[in-house]
């Protein structure tokens, strides 16, 4: 897994998936949408299941477009998650309440794929996409269940799984992507904005040289209201420092950083996988932005991919929306 987006021969599009009870708590600091690592993990799990069927697909990256969401919270001045006590334990008693944030989602997943499907005709590619959608319907997406489509799928790509071959000609590739992105409206795509974190850190250090990356991350994760001026009646007018038109900036978890050395497979008691080296890690955080799909100019701006650097102890999800270098800052 490299620090650059792998080359893709096509895009596998699974539109308007209805997800019930997905995990709304993406990290100890953030909630409101599943972590992008959940979708990278989904991509790898899906690839392993399809490999058993010998389908000609290699999954390289994934893009997420959210059309609707409903976080399961109780209304009020301080919102709380709606918690349940099920299933019953082995003694038939309800278990203790453990906070678990849930949400319902309507998503379009776009996978960057390569493999031997390029030689297939359109009908065979459509059958292949339907096969992948059927396999995904039996899996968990960010801990949630995939519900059947609300209505029978009409004709057209907007509501049907689709496998689009990317042209080698740049102009034809751009025209094809412009047609695709219109089918994802209305919705919002999650992209990485590591570049804003870096530039904001430099701005803050001009006034406060000892500003840390954590300070810059927290400063961009909130609205900072300050008194700006007084009106004709002497009343103070407050303004926040978030420029208009900057979109929805959000703090997001983007991966993990190692806390120690790799342990040999099976050497750590109670590890889930005894065939893979084990490592204790902590979360990495950066900034994301929700933007309308019509602002995307090329597929690479939408897709997230894994960048694993075991020697450096970094396991990170990356996105090329702003062409941020591999050494971008994170908290």
pLDDT one-digit tens code per residue, 214-257: 999 999 888 888 888 888 888 999 988 877 766 688 999 999 99
pLDDT at residue 39 in the model: 96
Q: Which two tokens stand for residue 231?
A: 């009106």
User: 48-70 b/e with 16+ CB inside 10 Å = b?
Assistant: eebeeeebebbbbbbbbbbbebe
pTM value?
A: 0.88
Distances (CA, A) of 5 to 116, 192, 324: 19, 13, 12
Averaged confidence pLDDT in the chain: 88
Mean pLDDT lowest among 105-109, 181-185, 318-322, 326-330: 326-330
Tell me if the bond preceding 186 is cis, omega within 30° of 0: yes
pLDDT one-digit tens code per residue, 118-177: 888 888 898 999 999 999 999 999 999 999 876 655 555 567 898 999 888 888 888 889
pLDDT at residue 34 in the model: 95
**Residue 46 near residue 58, CB atoms below 8 Å:** no
* Sequential DSSP letters for 242-262: S-TT--EEEEEEEEEEESSPP
């Amino acid at each position: 897994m490299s620090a650059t987006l792998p080359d893709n021969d096509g895009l596998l599009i699974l539109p308007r998936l209805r997800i019930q009870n997905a995990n709304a708590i993406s990290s100890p600091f953030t909630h409101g949408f599943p972590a992008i690592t959940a979708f990278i993990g989904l991509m790898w799990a899906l690839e392993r299941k399809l490999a058993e069927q010998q389908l000609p697909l290699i999954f390289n990256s994934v893009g997420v477009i959210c059309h609707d969401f409903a976080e399961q919270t109780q209304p009020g001045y301080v919102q709380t998650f709606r918690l349940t006590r099920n299933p019953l334990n082995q003694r038939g008693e309800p278990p203790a309440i453990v906070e678990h944030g849930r949400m319902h989602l309507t998503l379009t997943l776009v996978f960057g794929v390569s493999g031997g499907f390029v030689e297939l005709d359109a009908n065979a590619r459509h059958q292949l996409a339907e096969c992948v959608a059927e396999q995904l319907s039996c899996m968990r997406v960010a801990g949630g269940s995939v519900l059947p489509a609300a209505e029978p799928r009409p004709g057209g790509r907007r509501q049907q799984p689709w496998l689009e071959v990317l042209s080698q000609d740049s102009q034809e590739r751009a025209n094809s992507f412009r047609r695709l992105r219109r089918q994802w409206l209305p919705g919002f795509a999650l992209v990485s904005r590591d570049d804003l974190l870096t530039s904001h850190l430099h701005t803050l250090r001009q006034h406060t040289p000892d500003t840390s990356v954590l300070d810059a991350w927290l400063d961009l994760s909130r609205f900072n209201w300050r008194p700006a001026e007084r009106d004709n009646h002497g009343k103070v007018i407050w303004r926040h420092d978030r420029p208009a038109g900057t979109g929805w900036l959000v703090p997001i978890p983007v991966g993990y950083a190692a806390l120690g050395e790799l342990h040999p497979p099976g050497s750590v008691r109670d590890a889930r996988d005894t065939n893979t080296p084990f490592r204790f890690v902590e979360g990495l955080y950066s900034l994301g932005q929700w933007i309308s799909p019509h602002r995307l100019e090329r597929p690479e701006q939408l897709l997230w991919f894994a960048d694993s650097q075991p020697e450096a102890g970094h396991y990170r999800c990356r996105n090329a929306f702003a062409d941020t270098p591999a050494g971008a800052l994170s908290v």
